Structure 1
């Protein structure tokens, strides 16, 4: 489920980038916009604006869905949850020695 959502999200992102790059620059801030271009008709501008809005809504929807799935989906099992709790406290394994030595008790507030 999560993989399908990620693939849909990536397709929406690529389409959104493409639609934004197809739009004509109004100010020509970099000096490369305006003039005759690929889509200069007013109807094409409205279609690109509408497509941008639809793709932006789809981007937000997939982003929120992915975050909800990540929050409430299956969680990996933590390795620390598998370790049984020891009654005497945590032990330290010395390299080369397979025996565990208990840690000293922490000093209380003085």
Structure 2
């Protein structure tokens, strides 16, 4: 599980870096911007970063599902610990005088 978590962190950091390296088209999600700017300028770099983002996102989801499956398989020890009810504290009774 530790190895999967380490791989997950590496994939996550690489995915964040890849997303941040991509050039914004400046359109503000369709709310204006320069209409003459092409979304596909510098096509080679854009394609590489887009493909890298897609591959990393796929690896992220596969690794997440794999970690969930491993965690569910190993949850028996956690259920034993969480299944036991803690001892309830007793409240001292007042003694009549």
Structure-2-length-normalised TM-score: 0.66
Distance 2:15 2:42 in 1: 20
* Structure 1 residue ranges (4+ consecutive) displaced by more than 3 angstroms after TM superposition: 91-95
Q: Show structure 2 runs of 5+ residues with no match.
A: 29-40, 92-97
User: Shift of the alpha carbon at 1:25?
Assistant: 0.4
TM normalised by structure 1 equals: 0.59
| Higher fraction of strand | 1
Larger radius of gyration: 1
How far apart are the structure 2 equivalents of 1:63 and 1:7?
A: 12
In the TM superposition, what is the alpha-carbon distance from 1:8 to its structure 2 partner? Answer: 0.1
2:84 paired residue among 80, 84, 94: 80
Question: Higher helix share goes to which structure?
Answer: 2
Structure 1: stretches of 5+ with no match in the other structure: 30-39, 82-90, 96-110
> Which structure would you say has the larger RCO, counting Cα contacts within 8 Å and 6 or more residues apart?
2
C-alpha root-mean-square deviation of aligned residues, in Å? 2.9
